[in-house]
Structure 1
Amino acid sequence: MPAGAGRLLVVTAVDAERDAVVAGAGELVDVAVIGVGPASAAAATARLLATTDTRYRAVISAGIGGGFSEHVGVGGLALATRSIAADLGAESPERFLPLDELGFGTVRYEADADLMRRLTDALPDAAAGTVLTVSTTTGTAAGTAALRDRYPDAVAEGMEGFGVATAAAQAGVPFGELRAISNAVGPRDRAGWRIGDALAALTRASAALGKLEA
C-alpha cells in the first residue's frame, strides 16, 4: 500500500501522548493508545490494523522518549530511519549478541523511505537516525555507554517503536516513528526530565502530520 493512500494512524503508549497528538493533528489522522512496551504495542497495533475497514496510508509510533545528547536535546524531535530492538538477544562474556546474529529473527525494521521523506520535509529540524526500542529504559552510565558503542547512530530511545513496526510490517503498512525528547539517555535523573516540554513539542510536530502530501 503506498504511503500516500488513505488515512494516517498514529499510535501512542499513554493517554497524555495521545492528547498531545490530537491537539495538533488534523482530521485525516486517527490516534489510538496501545500501551507501554513492545509486546503491548505490537499486539494492539496488529489488532487495530486487522479489525478496521480503513486503508491506512501509514502507521506512526509517536510519543516522548530519551534522546542521545550528541544528536538531539531535550525538547527536540527525533525521526527514526530504522527501529531497532536494542535489548532483544543474548548476553555473552564477550558482548551482547542481537537476535539476528543468533539466527532467530530480526531486531530492526527500516522506516518507509517515502514516508520518511515526507516527515523530514515536514519536520526539517528533527534529528534523523536509529531509534532504539527497549523494554527497560536506560538509567546508568554503563548502560548508556554500551548502547552508544553498539548503535553510534542512535538518536533516541523509546519502548514501543519496534513493536509497532513489527505489526505494520506483517500488515504491509508503511511504518514511521516520531519521538519528542523529554530527557537525555543516561543516568536516571527524574528531576531533569521535561515531560511538559516534550509533550508540547509533540503537539507542534503533530500539526505537520495531517498536512503530509497525499
Structure 2
Amino acid sequence: MKTLVVAATKAEVAFFYQHYNLPEGDFIEGKNFDLLITGVGMVATAFSLGQYLSANKYILVLNVGIAGCFDRNIALGSLLNINEDTFAELGAENGDEFLTITDLGFGENHFKSIGKRITNLPSVKGITVNCVTGSEKSINNIVKRLNPTSESMEGAAVFYACKKENIDCLQVRSISNYVAPRNKETWEIGLAIKNLNEWLISFISEMN
C-alpha cells in the first residue's frame, strides 16, 4: 500500500511537484505515493479525505503544510511534528467559559497522530481553527485554555478522518509566522515552504 501526502494548497508543496515532475491536478496517483490537495480549511479537508480514503487503501496519511507558531523560541522555518491536535473552536460559549464538543457530550475535539513517530523532528501540540488567531486577547485566551505550540486550519480534520478509517497518520508543519496581530512583513513563507519541501522529498525518498 502507498502513502497519501495531503496538503491544503499546491503552493505549499510546489517544489515537491517539481522534484517528482508531477502533472497538474488536485489528486495525483504515483507508483509509491499519491498526492491530495484538499483546499484550505477543515471542511474542505474532511470532504476531500472522505472521498479518497473511502475509495483507496493507504499505509500512511502524511499531512504537510505551513503553520503559525505561538512559541517565539522556535525559529521561523522550523519543522515540527504535530503529534496532538485540537479543534479549538468546536463547542459553545457559556459566558466567559468555553465548553468543548466533548464537554457537551457530542463528540471529540482532541486527536493524536497514529503510528510511527518522526523522531528527528520536535513533537508538539497544535490547534486547528476556522479563524486564524490575530488579536492579543484571542492569543491570550487560547494559550491559557489549550497552550498550543502551532496553529493550522486543517490538521485536526486529517487526524479525525484517519481515526475514522483506522489509518496511520502524521502531521508535519513548517513555521511561517508567529501567531500575532496580522503583519505579513514579519512572515517567512518562502523559507517555510522551502524547508518543508526539502524534508518531504527526503522522507518520501527514504520510504521508497
Q: Structure 1-normalised TM-score?
A: 0.85
1:176 to 170, 173, 177: 170
2:101 to 99, 102, 127: 99
Alignment coverage as a number of residue pairs: 199
In 1, Cα distance between equivalents of 2:179 and 2:122: 15
Q: Is the 8 A contact 1:83 1:109 kept in 2?
A: yes
Q: Any idea what SS the aligned residue of 2:162 has?
A: helix
Any gaps of 5 or more consecutive residues in structure 1?
Answer: 1-5
Counterpart of 1:188 in structure 2 is 182
1:164 and 2:158 aligned: yes
Worse overlay, 135-144 or 203-212: 203-212
Classify 1:188/1:149 alpha carbon distance in 2 versus 1 (closer, same or farther; 3 Å). same
Moved over 3 A (4+): 20-27, 211-214
Q: Any idea what SS the aligned residue of 1:205 has?
A: helix
Q: Any idea what SS the aligned residue of 1:210 has?
A: helix
Amino acid at match of 1:109: F
Classify 1:42/1:79 alpha carbon distance in 2 versus 1 (closer, same or farther; 3 Å). same
Counterpart of 2:63 in structure 1 is 61
1:73 and 2:75 aligned: yes
Identity of aligned residues (%): 28
1:89 to 88, 91, 99: 91
Counterpart of 1:208 in structure 2 is 202
Classify 1:76/1:60 alpha carbon distance in 2 versus 1 (closer, same or farther; 3 Å). same
The alpha carbon displacement at 1:56 in A equals: 1.1
1:133 to 125, 128, 152: 128
Q: What root-mean-square deviation, in Å, do the aligned CA atoms of Structure 1 and Structure 2 show?
A: 2.0
Counterpart of 1:3 in structure 2 is none
In 1, Cα distance between equivalents of 2:105 and 2:47: 23
Amino acid at match of 1:203: N
Amino acid at match of 2:198: R
